[in-house]
């Protein structure tokens, strides 16, 4: 396994801004990641700040700024039942949430640092499900309604794969950040 240096919210400090500010502005995100790269020489550059929140926010969750120097955090889950995850629309890179911001920042970084590998971070399906329904709800449903949770995770995986393809069509690779997955998902 190859390890990489990843600079996320810490990148904001290099331009004297907060992680919240940088997470909300493509120019600031690009400037912060470029500045961090000039100090650390990290390869690939990860174009993001709060990697577990972007897709969840694009589907309607609120991201909050509790600690200006900390990572932006998700508010309350927007669904109380994992069955709602079976009906989520496909996200569009050009219109949903901060996905357009990530795309624009990635373009700016790539233009400034020609030839430096760049990755756009996305959350894995389990992480997205936790953000949308909450950990306790998801955990209880895994015990009581395994089939629905499994189907929801597979559908979220398809959504994430399509997002990866949308970024790839525009010349960008992605990195999937994931929390551990339940063992039964691997027995597919």
At 124-163, the pLDDT tens digits run: 999 999 999 999 999 999 999 999 999 999 999 999 999 9
Would 42 be classed as within a structural domain?
yes
pTM of the model: 0.89
Distances (CA, A) of 106 to 42, 72, 119: 15, 20, 8
Q: What domain range includes position 79?
A: 9-186
Judge whether 112 lies within some domain: yes
For 73-88, the pLDDT digits (tens) are 999 999 999 999 999 9
Residue 141 is part of a domain; what is its CATH number?
A: 3.20.20.210
Binned at pLDDT 50, 70 and 90, residue 109 comes out as very high
Which residue, chain included where needed, has tokens 């991201």?
A: 63
Is 188 a residue whose pLDDT tops 50? no
Indicate whether 34 pLDDT > 80. yes
Non-local (6+) Cβ contacts of 65 within 8 A are 20, 72
The DSSP secondary structure of 128-143, one letter per residue, reads: HHHHHH-HHHHHHHHH
Domain presence at residue 64: yes
Asked whether residue 1 is assigned to any structural domain, the reply reads no
């Amino acid at each position: 396994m190859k390890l990489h240096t990843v600079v996320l919210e810490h990148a904001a400090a290099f331009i004297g801004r907060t992680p919240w500010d940088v997470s909300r502005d493509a120019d600031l995100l690009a400037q912060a990641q470029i500045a961090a790269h000039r100090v650390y020489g990290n390869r690939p550059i990860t174009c993001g700040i709060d990697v577990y929140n972007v897709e969840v926010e694009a589907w309607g969750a609120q991201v909050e700024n509790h600690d200006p120097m900390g990572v932006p955090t998700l508010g309350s889950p927007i669904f109380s039942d994992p069955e709602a995850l079976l009906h989520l629309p496909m996200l569009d890179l050009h219109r949903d949430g901060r996905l357009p911001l990530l795309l624009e920042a990635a373009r700016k970084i790539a233009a400034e640092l020609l030839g430096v590998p760049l990755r756009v971070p996305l959350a894995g399906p389990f992480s997205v499900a936790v953000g949308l329904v909450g950990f306790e709800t998801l955990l209880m449903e895994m015990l009581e309604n395994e089939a629905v949770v499994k189907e929801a995770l597979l559908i979220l995986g398809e959504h994430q794969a399509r997002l990866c393809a949308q970024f790839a069509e525009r010349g960008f690779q992605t990195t999937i950040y994931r929390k551990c997955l339940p063992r039964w998902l691997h027995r597919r």
